Amino acid sequence: MGGSSLMGKLPASLSPGLLVLGQELATQNQDALGWLCSTTRNVVPYSDPEARKRVQRNLDHAVGMLCVAHIMAVFEAGFPGNYWPALLSSHDVQRLKAYRHVRNCAANGFTGTRPPADYADFDSVMTSSCPLRGVISYTDNSLVLSTDVLSDLCVLVREITNKAIVAAHQP
């Protein structure tokens, strides 16, 4: 975690929102996004194997982008990024910024085109010993996701939310 006096850096108004966030994040894998991922897996019925693989890969990428965009929107609404450095380890902050970069990619539709925001954090995480799961490939200009991105992101934001809730309730 960040500084030594976390409670002093955490506004009282943030604590109730973290509890609601924790409850909401706990259900995301079993809720609409989980169903979306499971019902779109291997559903493309084309007889041409190359076309089927291409379209399925594009569908999986689109679902992955939607999942990251939704989870990060929910997470950042309950735990804004300006509080991250004071409350979280630099490792956790960098991973969140990498996912925020993916979320910002979703603003370009399902093209995977990478915007400049949090670009360096994404690259650093992807070249680390623990890259983001569900990123199939990436270049300087674009990235491709799979639906596996949902599980990894859900675990991370639940763990971070729990850390922040504990920090909020420590004297």
Q: Work out the burial of residue 149: count CB atoms within 10 Å of its CB; fewer than 13 is exposed, 13-18 middle, 19 or more buried.
A: buried
3-state secondary structure of 138: strand
Q: Which domain holds residue 133?
A: 11-168
- Give the residue among 14, 1, 3 at the shortest CA–CA distance from 92: 1
Question: Beta partners for 158?
Answer: none
The answer as to whether 133 is a domain residue is yes
- The reported pLDDT for the residue numbered 105 is 95
The answer as to whether 2 is a domain residue is no
Q: Which two tokens stand for residue 71?
A: 């989870």
The answer as to whether 4 is a domain residue is no
- The reported pLDDT for the residue numbered 126 is 98
pLDDT along the chain (171 residues), means of 10: 45 72 72 75 88 92 92 91 88 96 92 94 98 96 92 89 77 60
- The distance in angstroms from the start CA to the end CA of the chain is 15
The answer as to whether 5 is a domain residue is no
- The reported pLDDT for the residue numbered 6 is 43
- Give the residue among 166, 152, 147 at the shortest CA–CA distance from 43: 147
Residues 6+ apart with CB under 8 A from 118: 97, 98, 100, 101, 104
The answer as to whether 6 is a domain residue is no
Taking the C-alpha atoms of residue 151 and residue 110, their distance in angstroms, rounded to an integer, is: 19
The answer as to whether 3 is a domain residue is no
* Global confidence as pTM: 0.85
The answer as to whether 1 is a domain residue is no
Count structural domains, the chain.
Answer: 1
**Which letter does DSSP use for residue 2 in this model?**
-
